[in-house]
Structure 1
Amino acid sequence: MSLNNRILALIALVFLCALSTPSSVWSQEPPPATTPETTTATGLTADDLLLSKPETPEQLMQAVVQLTDLGHAASAKAYLDQLLKGNPDDELILKLRDKYGPAAFLRLANNKKLQPESITLLKKMESAFRAYATDPSRINSLIDALSGTPTERDIAIIQLKSAGEIVAPPILKQLSQSQDPARNDELTFALTQLGDPVVPPLIAALRAPQEKIRKIAADVLGDLARPADALYLWNPAFSQSQPQNVQVAARMALAKILGKNPRKTYELNRHEAQLILKNAALNLYQKHETKSETQPIWVWDNAAQTVVKKELPAQEVNLVEGLRLAKEALEMSPDKQDVQTLYLAMALALEAYQVGWNQPLPEGPGTTFNLALLSGPSAVSRVLALAMKQGHTPSALAALKALGQIGSRTLLHEQLDKHSSLIAALNYPDRRVQFAAATAILQLDPAKPFPGANRVISILTRALRGEGTQAAIVVDSSIPRGQTMAGVFHELGYETTPVQTGMAGFKAATDRMDVEFIALEYNIARWGLSQTIANLRADSRTANIPIVIYGPLRLQNKIEYSTRYYPLVKYVVESENTDDIGSQLKPFLDGLKTPELTGELRSEYRAAALYWLSHIASSQRTNIYDLKQAEQPLLDLVSDRSLASNALITLGGIPTRTAQEDLVQVITTPTYEADVREIAALQLAFHIQKFGLMIDTMQISAVQKAYQAAKDPKLNTALASVMGTLMPDSKVVGERLQKFQPAGALP
Structure 2
Amino acid sequence: MPSRRSSLLPTLLATFALTTISPLCAQDEEPLAVPEGDQVLASEPTTVPELFEGALLTVKLARPELAKIYLGRILQLNPDNSQLLALRDNNGMSALLSLARLDQVNPEASELLSRVTEAAKTQVGNPEYANDLIKLLSGSARERDEATTQLQLLGPYAVAPILRAVVSNPENRDLFTLTLARLGQPAIDPLVGALQSPIDEVKTTAAQVLGAIGGEDEVIWLLEPAFSPNSPPGTQEVARKAIARIRYQDPAKTTRVTGYGAAEKLQKTSLDYLANQFDWPAKYEDMNEIPVWSWSDTEQTVVENVTSRRNAGTYFAERLARDSAELAPSSNESAELILAAMMVRDIEEAGWDQPIPTGPGTAHDLAVEAGPEFCSQILKLSLDNHIVGSALSSAHALGLNGSRNQLRGRTAPPIVDALSSAHPRVQLAAAITILQWDPKLSFRGSSRIVPILGRAIQSDDRPQSVVIDPNGQRGTSTAALFQELGYRGSVAETGQEGFRIAAERGDVEIGILHPNTIRWGLTQTLTNLRTDSRTRDLPLVVFGPRSIRSRFDLLQDQFENVVYIDEGTSPIEINKALQPVLAQISPPPLTSAQRSQQIREASFWLRQIATTRLSEIFDLAPIEEEIRLATTNSASADNAVVALGGIGLPSAQLHLFEIMESPNMDMKLRQQAGFQLAFHIQRFGNLLKPEILRRLQAMSGSTNDKDLETAIASVLGSLHPDEQRSRKLIFSTPSSMEPVTAPTKL
Partners of 1:663 and 1:542 in 2: CA distance: 32
Partners of 2:37 and 2:504 in 1: CA distance: 76
Deviates more, 1:623-632 or 1:79-88: 79-88
Counterpart AA for 2:441:
K
Partners of 1:321 and 1:429 in 2: CA distance: 25
Alignment check: 8 A CA contact 2:227 2:327 kept? yes
Q: Indicate how the Cα distance of structure 1 residues 470 and 131 shifts in structure 2: closer, same or farther if over 3 A, else same.
A: closer
Answer yes or no: is 1:144 the counterpart of 2:135.
yes
Write out aligned runs for 1:441-460 (5 A).
441-460=434-453
Answer yes or no: is 1:651 the counterpart of 2:633.
no
Answer yes or no: is 1:328 the counterpart of 2:334.
no
**Match for residue 256 of structure 1?**
245
Counterpart AA for 2:686:
L
Q: Indicate how the Cα distance of structure 1 residues 344 and 80 shifts in structure 2: closer, same or farther if over 3 A, else same.
A: closer
Answer yes or no: is 1:433 the counterpart of 2:433.
no
Partners of 1:470 and 1:95 in 2: CA distance: 55
Answer yes or no: is 1:277 the counterpart of 2:266.
yes
How far residue 190 of structure 1 moved from its aligned partner, in angstroms, is 3.8
Alignment check: 8 A CA contact 1:145 1:153 kept? yes
Percent of aligned pairs sharing the same letter: 30
Answer yes or no: is 1:619 the counterpart of 2:612.
yes
**Match for residue 215 of structure 1?**
204
Partners of 1:559 and 1:77 in 2: CA distance: 41
Q: Indicate how the Cα distance of structure 1 residues 465 and 146 shifts in structure 2: closer, same or farther if over 3 A, else same.
A: closer
Secondary structure of the 1:694 match is coil
Secondary structure of the 2:307 match is strand
Alignment check: 8 A CA contact 2:419 2:427 kept? yes
How far residue 192 of structure 1 moved from its aligned partner, in angstroms, is 4.0
Provide, for residues 17-57 of structure 1, a one-character-per-residue CA deviation record: whole Å limited to 9, x for no partner: 78999xxxxxxxxxx9996478x9xxxxx87xxxxx89998
Aligned mate of 1:608, from 601, 618, 636: 601
**Match for residue 721 of structure 2?**
728
Partners of 1:414 and 1:252 in 2: CA distance: 51
**Match for residue 174 of structure 1?**
165
Provide, for residues 528-578 of structure 1, a one-character-per-residue CA deviation record: whole Å limited to 9, x for no partner: x99xx99x98x9x87968899x9xx999999999xxxxxxx7699999999
Alignment check: 8 A CA contact 1:80 1:118 kept? no
Alignment check: 8 A CA contact 1:207 1:214 kept? yes
How far residue 726 of structure 1 moved from its aligned partner, in angstroms, is 2.4
Structure 2: 5+ residue runs without aligned partners?
Answer: 11-32, 278-283, 480-488, 514-522, 543-549, 570-574, 741-746
How far residue 655 of structure 1 moved from its aligned partner, in angstroms, is 0.1
How far residue 324 of structure 1 moved from its aligned partner, in angstroms, is 0.9
**Match for residue 547 of structure 2?**
none
Q: Indicate how the Cα distance of structure 1 residues 298 and 617 shifts in structure 2: closer, same or farther if over 3 A, else same.
A: same
Secondary structure of the 1:621 match is helix
Counterpart AA for 1:281:
S
Answer yes or no: is 1:373 the counterpart of 2:368.
yes
Provide, for residues 209-263 of structure 1, a one-character-per-residue CA deviation record: whole Å limited to 9, x for no partner: 2233222322333233232222211111112332332222211221112226544
**Match for residue 396 of structure 1?**
391
Answer yes or no: is 1:628 the counterpart of 2:621.
yes
Answer yes or no: is 1:228 the counterpart of 2:221.
no
**Match for residue 681 of structure 2?**
688
Secondary structure of the 1:297 match is strand
Secondary structure of the 1:447 match is coil
Provide, for residues 131-155 of structure 1, a one-character-per-residue CA deviation record: whole Å limited to 9, x for no partner: 7777642331231244446665555
Q: Indicate how the Cα distance of structure 1 residues 291 and 454 shifts in structure 2: closer, same or farther if over 3 A, else same.
A: farther
Deviates more, 1:444-453 or 1:198-207: 444-453
How far residue 273 of structure 1 moved from its aligned partner, in angstroms, is 1.7
Alignment check: 8 A CA contact 2:52 2:71 kept? no
Partners of 2:45 and 2:715 in 1: CA distance: 106
How far residue 302 of structure 1 moved from its aligned partner, in angstroms, is 1.0
Alignment check: 8 A CA contact 2:419 2:430 kept? yes
How far residue 614 of structure 1 moved from its aligned partner, in angstroms, is 0.7
**Match for residue 356 of structure 2?**
361
How far residue 116 of structure 1 moved from its aligned partner, in angstroms, is 9.6
**Taking structure 2 as the reference length, what is the TM-score of the superposition?**
0.71
Partners of 1:173 and 1:544 in 2: CA distance: 49
Deviates more, 1:122-131 or 1:602-611: 122-131
Alignment check: 8 A CA contact 2:294 2:302 kept? yes
Alignment check: 8 A CA contact 2:120 2:154 kept? no
How far residue 86 of structure 1 moved from its aligned partner, in angstroms, is 9.8
How far residue 373 of structure 1 moved from its aligned partner, in angstroms, is 1.8
Counterpart AA for 2:680:
H
Q: Indicate how the Cα distance of structure 1 residues 436 and 61 shifts in structure 2: closer, same or farther if over 3 A, else same.
A: closer
Alignment check: 8 A CA contact 2:65 2:105 kept? no
Partners of 2:285 and 2:457 in 1: CA distance: 30
**Match for residue 165 of structure 1?**
156
Partners of 1:644 and 1:297 in 2: CA distance: 49
**Taking structure 1 as the reference length, what is the TM-score of the superposition?**
0.71
Alignment check: 8 A CA contact 1:295 1:312 kept? yes
Counterpart AA for 2:600:
A
Provide, for residues 59-91 of structure 1, a one-character-per-residue CA deviation record: whole Å limited to 9, x for no partner: 978996998699696999899799979999887
Q: Indicate how the Cα distance of structure 1 residues 495 and 409 shifts in structure 2: closer, same or farther if over 3 A, else same.
A: farther
How far residue 342 of structure 1 moved from its aligned partner, in angstroms, is 2.9
Deviates more, 1:453-462 or 1:732-741: 732-741
Partners of 1:711 and 1:559 in 2: CA distance: 63
Alignment check: 8 A CA contact 2:407 2:413 kept? yes
**Match for residue 186 of structure 2?**
197
Alignment check: 8 A CA contact 2:556 2:563 kept? no
Q: Indicate how the Cα distance of structure 1 residues 616 and 241 shifts in structure 2: closer, same or farther if over 3 A, else same.
A: same
Answer yes or no: is 1:307 the counterpart of 2:298.
no
Structure 1: 5+ residue runs without aligned partners?
Answer: 1-15, 22-31, 41-45, 48-52, 474-481, 520-528, 562-568
Aligned mate of 2:226, from 237, 255, 262: 237
Q: Indicate how the Cα distance of structure 1 residues 362 and 547 shifts in structure 2: closer, same or farther if over 3 A, else same.
A: closer
Secondary structure of the 1:299 match is strand
Secondary structure of the 1:465 match is coil
Counterpart AA for 2:315:
V
